């Protein structure tokens, strides 16, 4: 079971609030705050996709590039700093050989 969703190169982490009886999520690994919520799984998937589309549209209307998610770090289950450190260490080993 996974608590992440992916759409158009964006990944969201999803949680459930038993207090509010709803699912909620936000786009990960971007500085902009983009959130969504729903009361069931079908609505959650739809709202996630809608929030990504609206984010992209808003960026276009503002004349700025949408931020790109560092989805490799999320998929590896590590922080962005840890992921970059691993990649750099791997490259240094290749150069040293």
Separation between Cα atoms, residue 32 and residue 61, nearest integer Å: 15
Is there a contact between 23 and 39 (Cβ–Cβ < 8 Å)?
yes
Q: Has domain 4-96 been given CATH number 3.30.160?
A: yes
**Cβ-Cβ contacts under 8 Å for 15 (sequence gap 6 or more):** 3, 23, 24, 25
Residue 77 has pLDDT above 90, yes or no: no
Nearest to 32 by CA among 2, 62, 77: 62
Q: Which helix (H) or strand (E) holds 35?
A: strand 35-38
Q: pLDDT tens across 41-67, in order? A: 999 999 999 999 999 999 999 999 999
Question: Would you kindly state where each structural domain of the chain is located, as residue ranges?
Answer: 4-96
């Amino acid at each position: 079971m996974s608590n992440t969703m992916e759409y158009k190169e964006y990944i969201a982490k999803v949680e459930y609030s038993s207090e509010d009886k709803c699912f909620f999520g936000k786009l990960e690994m971007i500085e902009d705050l983009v959130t969504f919520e729903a009361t069931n799984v079908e609505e959650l998937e739809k709202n996630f996709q809608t929030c990504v589309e609206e984010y992209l549209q808003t960026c276009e209307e503002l004349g700025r590039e949408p931020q790109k998610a560092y989805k490799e770090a999320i998929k590896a289950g590590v922080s962005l700093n840890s992921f970059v450190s691993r990649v750099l260490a791997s490259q240094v080993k290749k150069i040293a050989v």
